[in-house]
Amino acid sequence: MTREWTRGEYVISTDPGRLDLAIVHAFLARAYWSVGLPRAVLERAVEHSLVFGLYCAAGQVGFARVVTDYATFAYLADVFVLEECRGRGLGKWLVEVAVTLPELQGLRRWLLATADAHDLYRQFGFTDATPGRLMEIVDLDVYTRGR
């Protein structure tokens, strides 16, 4: 089901067909958390995620996605607002829309990873993970190795 929210001149939509994947890819391929992200990997991630595109009259200016089973777990990922549109509360609005979506209420766990936006996410109830509880496999060079 496609949803839309409007605030002033901005719109958030969950319609994956509306995404400008060139803009999303250009940003994510240079973002610290996804350097070198191949376009095909982004396309596969979008296909298997709940996406939130942020738009104005000029086009797409932000993005977020949620990986979820809609029952117990959600992972908030790839949240960004283009630099020229920052400072207007758009990132906060994007996160708010994602975490308050009715279909995602009552989940047992939400996760995300960030190196620099802890204060933003704390506003929505995210806390530092309990040491010794969460484990991970990390391969930061997966997109750039073997090219």
Domain residue ranges of the chain, discontinuous segments joined by +: 4-122
pTM as predicted: 0.94
- Cα distances (angstroms) measured from residue 56 to each of 10, 31, 107, 113: 5, 22, 31, 27
pLDDT of residue 16: 98
pLDDT of residue 146: 64
- Cα distances (angstroms) measured from residue 1 to each of 16, 60, 103, 132: 11, 20, 10, 38
- pLDDT band of 46, cuts 50, 70, 90: very high
- pLDDT band of 147, cuts 50, 70, 90: low
Task: List pLDDT tens digits, range 73-105.
Answer: 999 999 999 999 999 999 999 999 999 999 999
Please list, residue by residue across 81-106, b when 16 or more beta carbons sit within 10 angstroms of its beta carbon and e when fewer do: bbeeeeeeebbebbbebbbebeebee
Task: List pLDDT tens digits, range 52-80.
Answer: 999 999 999 999 999 999 999 999 999 99
Task: List pLDDT tens digits, range 104-127.
Answer: 999 999 999 999 999 999 999 999
Rounded Cα distance, 100 and 125, in Å = 11
Are the CB atoms for 73 and 109 separated by under 8 Å? yes
**Does the CA dihedral 78-100-69-60 come out positive or negative?**
negative
Note the CATH number of domain 4-122. Answer: 3.40.630.30
Are the CB atoms for 101 and 110 separated by under 8 Å? no
